[in-house]
Every structure is written in structure tokens, then in C-alpha cells.
């Protein structure tokens, strides 16, 4: 009921400050996903990023940016000599990402309302009728559409194409959390990855995503290092540091 009231009155957009964590001090919106501004969101991931050291002037990509928690955090740390590139295909999440970018005056944060893949174009994006969810996604391998999937059409971009045309710079760091499509997203960035050999943080959501990512990165000598306590045999459901 509280959430419905906040949405109906527009109070969800009330500006607040992030209390602590990676984006501490950033301007944010009150609701939903209040864990983003209350502090303490994904502490293992935050510690891993902080352990990387000074990000000033670095180029960071955020694949699956949602409301921009990591995009904003990284942009605050790279400063205007760096660049952060955020991709988010969900239109509701993208609108909030853009609001947060504007609220913080981060002109060096570039946002794209699109998903990343190994080819550009368009695709069906499964919402299951709830665009407010963090689990809207491009279809998993073998996932069959039905009346409940409630797809919408989204744009797909190949990151290497954006680098090649000078729209974005090649990455020093990539965060990937795209609900099972990560191996396809990486496939569209392999020219850049071979060139700069970025450090990456990735959440795995399906066996196919794990296998596809291993096939792309292990020949380049990448190590898969579990983040936090989840060191699962099949990697599914865990976050990993991918380090060359």
C-alpha cells in the first residue's frame, strides 16, 4: 500500500542522498529499491570494485545498469576525465537511470536505452507484465513465449560498433548483469576486450551463459574468481571477478 501511495502521488521521485557505500553522497530518488540509497547494497561487489584502486580517468561499461547504482558509483570515481557507459533496455529502468544521471550532473556518463548483444537490431524482451522488476530479460535459450511473458520490443547494440564509430571508448572495466544474455553481450565486445583486456564483474544466471562466457574468455587467459561466499560448482546464481 505504501508503494502504491508513493507512485500515485509522485513522492517516489523525492530526492534523497545515498547514505553510504560506493555512491555515498549521490543524489537519488526515494522509491522503489530503497536499498540503493539506504546503503549496504551488495557489499561483496562493492569491496571488489574498491579493491581495484583509483578509477580516475578510467573507462567503465555497465551492461544491465537498472537504476544506475553502479553507473553513478563508477562515474563519481572516474571523474570527468573518465567515461562510464551504461546500457539498460527496460524503458522504466532506463528513465530512472537517466533521472539519476541528470540529478548528479554526470555528463561523462553516457546512457543507451538498449541491450548489448553480438549483433545490433531489435529483439523481444520478456517482462511478465512487470516492468518494475529487476528480472525482465531477453529470452533464455529454450524459453518459450506464452501469454505470461508480455514481451516488448527493444533495441540491441553491439558495443564494438560503438567503439569503432567513436561513440564510446574501449573499456578498462566492465560490469555485466544481463539475466542470462551475458555471453552474447560479451560476444559483441570481443574486439574491445582483446584490445584492452578489461577487468570484469559478472553475474551468471544460466548454464548456457556460463559455458558461453568460458568459451570466449578462457582462451584469453581470464581467471574466474568467485565474489563472496557463493562458489557454486556450476557458477549459476553467483557473481565472479573475471581477471586477465
Averaged pLDDT of the chain: 95
Q: Per the omega criterion (within 30 degrees of 0), is the bond before 32 cis?
A: yes
- Give the pLDDT confidence score for residue 1 in this predicted structure: 56
Q: Summarize pLDDT for 205-223 with one digit per residue, the tens.
A: 999 999 999 999 999 999 9
CA distance 110 to 92: 17
pLDDT(230) > 90 = no
Query: What is the pTM (predicted TM-score) of this model?
Result: 0.96
CA torsion 204-3-18-26 (nearest 10°) is: 90
- Please, what are the domains in the chain? 42-243 (3.40.50.150)
CA distance 104 to 25: 10
Segment 23-37 mean pLDDT:
96
Q: At which residue does the C-alpha cell 560490469 appear?
A: 175
Amino acid at each position: 500500500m505504501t508503494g502504491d501511495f508513493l507512485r500515485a502521488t509522485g513522492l517516489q521521485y523525492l530526492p534523497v542522498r545515498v547514505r553510504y557505500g560506493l555512491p555515498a553522497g549521490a543524489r537519488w530518488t526515494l522509491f522503489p529499491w530503497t536499498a540503493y540509497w539506504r546503503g549496504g547494497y551488495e557489499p561483496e561487489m562493492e569491496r571488489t570494485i574498491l579493491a581495484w584502486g583509483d578509477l580516475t580517468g578510467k573507462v567503465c561499461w555497465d551492461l544491465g545498469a537498472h537504476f544506475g547504482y553502479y553507473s553513478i558509483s563508477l562515474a563519481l570515481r572516474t571523474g570527468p576525465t573518465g567515461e562510464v557507459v551504461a546500457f539498460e533496455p527496460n524503458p522504466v529502468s532506463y528513465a530512472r537511470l537517466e533521472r539519476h544521471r541528470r540529478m548528479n550532473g554526470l555528463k561523462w556518463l553516457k546512457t543507451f536505452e538498449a541491450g548489448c548483444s553480438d549483433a545490433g537490431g531489435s529483439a523481444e524482451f520478456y517482462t511478465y507484465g512487470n516492468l518494475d522488476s529487476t528480472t525482465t530479460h531477453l529470452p533464455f535459450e529454450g524459453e518459450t513465449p506464452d501469454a505470461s511473458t508480455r514481451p516488448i520490443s527493444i533495441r540491441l547494440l553491439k558495443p564494438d560498433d560503438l567503439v569503432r564509430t567513436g561513440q564510446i571508448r574501449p573499456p578498462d572495466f566492465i560490469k555485466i548483469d544481463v539475466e542470462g544474455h551475458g555471453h552474447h553481450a560479451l560476444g559483441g565486445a570481443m574486439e574491445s576486450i582483446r584490445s584492452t583486456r578489461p577487468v570484469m564483474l559478472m553475474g551468471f544466471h544460466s548454464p548456457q551463459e556460463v559455458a558461453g562466457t568460458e568459451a570466449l574468455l578462457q582462451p584469453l587467459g581470464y581467471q574466474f574468481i568467485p565474489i563472496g561466499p557463493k562458489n557454486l560448482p556450476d557458477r549459476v546464481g553467483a557473481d565472479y571477478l573475471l581477471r586477465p
